[in-house]
Homo-oligomer: A and B are copies of this chain.
Amino acid sequence: MKLVRTLKELREARASLAEPVGLVPTMGYLHEGHLSLVQAAHRSCASVVVSIFVNPTQFGPQEDLARYPRDLQHDLDLLEKENVDIVWAPEDGEMYPPDYQTWVSVENVTRPLEGELRPGHFRGVTTVVSKLFNTVQPQKAFFGQKDAQQAQVILRMVADLNFPIDIQICPIIREADGLAMSSRNTYLSPAERQAAPILNRALLSARSLYENGERNAAVIKNSLQDIFKEEPLARPQYIAVVDPATFEEIGIIQDKALILLAVYFGKTRLIDNLILSGK
């Protein structure tokens, strides 16, 4: 496994990789969710590159950039065990030199929910992912369904800009008690951590309603609101039922729908989601 920190080192290391190359973009502080992406990459690629970059342009001024958890040595130990070929961990200055001035933006699908609550967030994501694609030149790239809107934004960007890259969206990996894995789980106090699986329980109860024939999104959302009322540590920011491709709100579920949750525990904001599908 080779750790590269500069574009020059990356270019040299990339040139000798067997193809197809799979890229797993991360912000580090890796957990089983990230490792599941690495494993998926190994299943269909001859080489695997993992990028570790806490991308400053996707954090708002009030967000947690400075305190975002970092532990490069622990990440490298985990990736070594997963037989990763290259870890691409650029410095900020390598990605955004002082006169940097180019942005990639996706419109419609970035507007609601995370896009509305975190202005500029998706522009930062699509810009850095474009840069990672162009520097690594993978044949495939792997993203988690955990960040459901991000996954759809990336798919839209890749289709629109004709990136010659196959995008794989991999399922959410959960702790034993159902909490979706996230680097931000580390912010939770013990009491908050104990309360946090309510997101998953709420989603499963929504699925029950759906499987019992409920198709009215408002009814499903009200039922979720009621569940969260029973947990004083949890403050839902949004509970949404949307079209999984466009992220437009759905009134009556016809075919597929995506339920999305963003819930605060103290200052920590957790997200989770579940696809409702007749099939």
Contacts and interface: CB of A to CB of B under 8 A. Distances in A.
A72 to B, nearest CB: 22
Contacts of A108: 99, 101
A104 B102 contact: yes
A93 to B, nearest CB: 13
A137 interface: yes
Contacts of A99: 108
Interface string A148-185: 00000000110011111000000000000000000000
Contacts of A7: 162
Contact of A161 (B106, B134, B162): B134
Most buried by B among A101, A106, A108: A101
Give chain A's interface residue range (CB within 8 Å of chain B): 20 to 34
Contact of A160 (B102, B105, B157): B102
A29 to B, nearest CB: 24
Interface in A222-270: none
A5 interface: no
Nearest to A110: B101
A217 B200 CA distance: 66
A134 B162 contact: yes
A99 to B, nearest CB: 8
A162 B156 CA distance: 20
Interface in A103-161: 103-109, 126-127, 130-131, 134-135, 137, 156-157, 160-161
What are the 10 tightest A-B residue pairs by CB atom distance, in nearest-first order?
A: A102-B160, A101-B107, A134-B162, A135-B162, A101-B108, A102-B106, A131-B162, A102-B157, A103-B105, A134-B163
